[in-house]
Structure 1
Amino acid sequence: MATPDQPALALQDVTCTFASREDRKDRYTAVRDTTLSIAPGEFVSVVGPTGCGKSTLLNISAGLLQPSSGTVSVFGEPLKGINRRAGYMFQADALMPWRSALDNVTAGLAFDGVPKDEARSRGEAWLKRVGLSGFGDRYPHQLSGGMRKRVAMAQTLILDPDIILMDEPFSALDIQTRQLMENELLDLWAAKRKAVLFITHDLDEAISMSDRVVVLSAGPGTHPIGEFSIDLPRPRDVAEIRSHPRFVELHAQIWGVLREEVLKGYQQQLKPAVAE
């Protein structure tokens, strides 16, 4: 039985190893001996070098990947199969091109057997919450990138998950649209205070949104090498908070840890090209 003081999500000594794509006999360890927990209502961002294994951690948390060793628990219960208490917002939106914005938002409700009229009412309410009232009949190709992200966010949050998993959801947007979406997400999060695990390569984004930032090492065998409490005042505007003196201090501290790992990751990416 879960108790209130248990983490919403906990990874304990998790390692995830795959067969190499070049030689099935070789093994590649994406994540090694990783322990990470997120409290109910906490917003945690994970940053690390490109390709270090951040998305692997998210997929393990979602139950889409099983760790080779270690344990994953959700509100104190061992995770078996798909994490039904989590909603997942991918880097590329998962909108179905043949369905309208409203039908995309309500797709999960239909799968759960929610009556059509109730699903429609809830879907329209969520489109209004994300600033898309009146756009329910539009199809994905008729929406801008920012509007598509709003639909994807409503699609995730309409199911009222206890845990929200987000894999660089705003990375493809221009900076102005990205900051608007970040603020909208923070407003929605503040209303219900769900646990959030947010993957990003953007340190500014991580600091401006989070309660805590976890830094991962370069791969292979990525693991946490630093953890920072973000003691900035809330509510926050993600653009304005970046001029706060404490933001500048935190950025310098975290970048001091992250920089070396980014350089390691960059050198590793160069190796195949050098070998060729």
Structure 2
Amino acid sequence: MAVHALELIDIRCTFRAKDDHSQRYTAVADTTLRIADGEFVSVVGPTGCGKSTLLNVGAGLLEPSSGSVRVFGQPLSGINTRAGYMFQSEALLPWRSALDNVKVGLQYRGVPDAQAREQAEAWLARVGLAGFGDRYPHQLSGGMRKRTALAQVLALDPDIILMDEPFSALDIQTRQLMENEVLDLWAAKKKAVLFITHDLDEAIAMSDRVVVLSAGPATHPIGEFEIDLPRPRDVAEVRVHPRFVELHTQIWNVLRDEVLKGYAQQLKAVA
């Protein structure tokens, strides 16, 4: 039996309430999620249901209240050093150029500066930013900053890529360009990807498998769908494929009630 790249097994995450430490809130309950080596898996669910919590558990940034995490068959202890994490918010250092931002992880790993520079320049070129290495984050467009962040993650050649709604702030045209670039880069090396998104179209267009989470509290998987659309894919063109429409209908039928529950809970919280 093949070893999975990442396994979250019977995960439960419980937190103390901010305003009353005697009260506890269970964000995630009884959740098992496995990603095979080379598999692209997206997780969708209502806003605030705990998607990012699961990603942080897989990254080793958050220790679950119960359950276990395994990385290529080995128990995870501390930070997942075999994973690269692309955050929803930009993690670029504003005082460093694009090139220096891509270099930073390599330098922390002890890669000699000349070699780190060469690798960083190569990755900037691969994400379409050749010649922009001397620009600072404030001199780059939103899409260019996302490309820099992507190069920063991929330069470390992680075996697992964790992505937390990385393109949600981009306009639709730039977003689709970035989605296609990610698919092209993924196809070249077939890393394991765990992709968090609230956009069902994005999840279907990019993934091998889509996992649907329930509304919180105590979110857990309530559906899992194999995405059998042919590859390679263009994320804009694939949306008109009859099978895409069929899959979207199937998944939305599972997701719809949970989105409405999540929306009702948000209204109650602010009332």
Matched with 1:108 is: 105
Residue 219 (str. 1) matches residue 216 (str. 2): yes
Matched with 1:54 is: 51
Give the aligned CA root-mean-square deviation in angstroms.
0.6
Q: Return the match for 1:132 from 107, 129, 133.
A: 129
- Structure 1 counterpart SS, 2:107: helix
Q: Return the match for 1:185 from 182, 186, 190.
A: 182
Matched with 2:8 is: 11
Compute the TM-score of the two structures, normalised by the length of structure 2: 0.99
Matched with 2:225 is: 228
Q: Following TM superposition, by how much is the alpha carbon of 1:15 offset from its aligned partner in structure 2, in angstroms?
A: 0.2
- Deviation readout 1:215-258 (Å, 9 max, x if unpaired): 00000000000000000000000000000000000000000000
Matched with 2:267 is: 270
**Cα separation, 2, equivalents of 1:21 and 1:48:** 24
**Cα separation, 1, equivalents of 2:199 and 2:260:** 15
**Cα separation, 2, equivalents of 1:268 and 1:95:** 34
Unmatched runs of 5 consecutive residues or more in structure 1: none
Q: Which amino acid aligns with 1:200?
A: T
- Structure 2 counterpart SS, 1:10: strand
Q: Which amino acid aligns with 1:236?
A: R
Compute the TM-score of the two structures, normalised by the length of structure 1: 0.98
- Deviation readout 1:92-141 (Å, 9 max, x if unpaired): 11000000000000100000010000000000000000000000000000
Q: Following TM superposition, by how much is the alpha carbon of 1:146 offset from its aligned partner in structure 2, in angstroms?
A: 0.2
- Structure 2 counterpart SS, 1:8: strand
**Cα separation, 1, equivalents of 2:10 and 2:125:** 42
Q: Return the match for 2:164 from 157, 160, 167.
A: 167
**Cα separation, 2, equivalents of 1:93 and 1:231:** 32
Residue 32 (str. 1) matches residue 34 (str. 2): no
Matched with 2:204 is: 207
Q: Following TM superposition, by how much is the alpha carbon of 1:272 offset from its aligned partner in structure 2, in angstroms?
A: 2.4
**Cα separation, 1, equivalents of 2:89 and 2:127:** 18
- Structure 1 counterpart SS, 2:162: strand
**Cα separation, 2, equivalents of 1:107 and 1:49:** 35
- Structure 1 counterpart SS, 2:4: coil
- Structure 2 counterpart SS, 1:191: helix
**Cα separation, 1, equivalents of 2:89 and 2:184:** 22
**Cα separation, 2, equivalents of 1:241 and 1:172:** 22
**Cα separation, 2, equivalents of 1:60 and 1:66:** 6
- Deviation readout 1:127-180 (Å, 9 max, x if unpaired): 000000000000000000000000000000000000000000000000000000
- Deviation readout 1:55-79 (Å, 9 max, x if unpaired): 0000000000001001100000000
Residue 258 (str. 1) matches residue 255 (str. 2): yes
Q: Following TM superposition, by how much is the alpha carbon of 1:22 offset from its aligned partner in structure 2, in angstroms?
A: 1.5
Unmatched runs of 5 consecutive residues or more in structure 2: none
Matched with 2:173 is: 176
Q: Following TM superposition, by how much is the alpha carbon of 1:273 offset from its aligned partner in structure 2, in angstroms?
A: 2.9
- Structure 2 counterpart SS, 1:249: helix
Q: Following TM superposition, by how much is the alpha carbon of 1:191 offset from its aligned partner in structure 2, in angstroms?
A: 0.2
